[in-house]
Amino acid sequence: MIDCEGLVKIYKTEDLEVVALQGLNLKVEDGELMAIIGNSGSGKSTLLNTLGGLDRPSAGQVKVGPWDLLKITEEELVQYKRETVGFIWQNNARNLLPYLTALENVEMPMMLSGKVDRAYAKQLLEWVGLKERMNNKLHQLSGGEQQRVAIAISLSNRPKLLLADEPTGSVDTATADLIMSIFRRLNKEIGITIVIVTHDMSLAGKVDRVVAIRDGLTSTEFIKRNPNINEDGEVTGAIEPAGKGLDGGVHEAYVVVDRVGRLQVPKEYLNSLGIKDKATMEFDGERIIISSPKLLGG
């Protein structure tokens, strides 16, 4: 579904140039539910905006399904955003029109594309648990209910890819868990690919794969490998021993290897070994061992 290689995004003003993505590599399979984590300024929101067609990439390769977002025309970009991708913002105001009911909000994108399907709009609101609230105006809904309306809106034109920018950032823990269970159910039942940007490690532990971004580059991946995880991301049996990952060790950590064979080792690992500009690397037939350089004559 998503294939990024050497993706670069540069923001330019008259007196400033900011490189937000510095050759990022990322692949996301069709039907995958995954999360992207990173500190503020790491480039994760820039990546999401690029995938959503809101920002144009500066260089490299970024493909979503059949679309090449580096070469896409303005007319094709409108079609891409209308038919291929759905977007959920942390700020509800960017998704919702306050003077419309929940049902009318879901129907609005359909009206813009000329294909209003009221039955499907009602079905979407049922999927997100708002069957009894679909005729309520937004001021009659809680923040969590409004966010669930936003999820229904993002699916109104049947996109193949759903992008969510901190979708649980403004709700309480119980509502966040409910929203994640909705994502898992949608992913399982309709097979939509879902990419979530978050800094919440507990939320990241409820998806199948997590990619960490640092300084505009993918650096580490965590893959869920324990079979005793239910559809809500909850542990239902014994946890297998694993490397330090997310959610009590239910993910296994991987460093990313780029297309020319370079390992992107997390900076904190290198700092802990006192490695700055050079490292000693040994191969014992099974493992690659990276260590701090030995001093001459030591």
pLDDT at 256: 65
- Are 67 and 78 in contact, with CB atoms under 8 Å apart? no
Q: pLDDT: is 260 or 115 the higher one?
A: 115
Residue-wise DSSP of 97-128: -TTSBHHHHHHHHHHHHT---HHHHHHHHHHT
How far CA 297 is from CA of 70, 282, 291, in Å, comes to 52, 19, 17
Residue 298: its pLDDT value, please? 44
Domains and CATH numbers, the chain: 29-56+71-264 (3.40.50.300), 265-298 (no CATH)
Contacts of 60 (CB under 8 A, 6+ apart): 4, 5, 6, 7, 8, 23, 24, 70
Task: Compute the mean pLDDT over every residue in the chain, rounded to the nearest whole number.
Answer: 82
Helix axes 143-154, 173-190, angle to 10 degrees: 20
Decide if pLDDT at 254 tops 80: no
Q: How far apart are CA 159 and CA 77, in angstroms?
A: 14
Task: List pLDDT tens digits, range 101-126.
Answer: 999 999 998 888 778 899 999 999 99
pLDDT at 248: 45
pLDDT score recorded for residue 29: 93
Region 132-147: what's the mean pLDDT? 91
Q: Which of 4, 30, 26, 83 is closest to 194 using CA atoms?
A: 30
Contact 139, 98 (CB under 8 A): yes
pTM: 0.78
- Going by C-alpha positions, the residue among 107, 82, 85, 87 that lies closest to residue 97 is 107
Distance (Å, whole) CA 126 – CA 135: 12
What is the model's pLDDT at position 38? 82
Residue with the larger pLDDT of the pair 80 and 39: 80
Q: Where does the pLDDT of residue 169 fall: very low under 50, low under 70, confident under 90, or very high at 90 and above?
A: confident
pLDDT for 152 equals: 94
Q: Among residues of the chain, what percentage have pLDDT more than 70?
A: 82
Instruction: Report the distance separating Cα 217 and Cα 9, nearest Å.
Output: 11
pLDDT-based confidence at residue 246 (cuts at 50, 70, 90): very low
pLDDT score recorded for residue 251: 53
Dist CA 128 CA 268 (whole Å) = 40
pLDDT at 175: 85
Q: What is the pLDDT of residues 179-234, one digit of tens each?
A: 899 999 999 988 999 999 987 777 767 888 888 888 888 767 766 654 444 444 44
pLDDT at 32: 94
Q: How many CB atoms lie within 10 A of CB 38?
A: 22
Average pLDDT over residues 284-294: 81
Helix axis angle, 173-190 to 118-127, nearest 10°: 130
Q: 30: which strand partners?
A: none
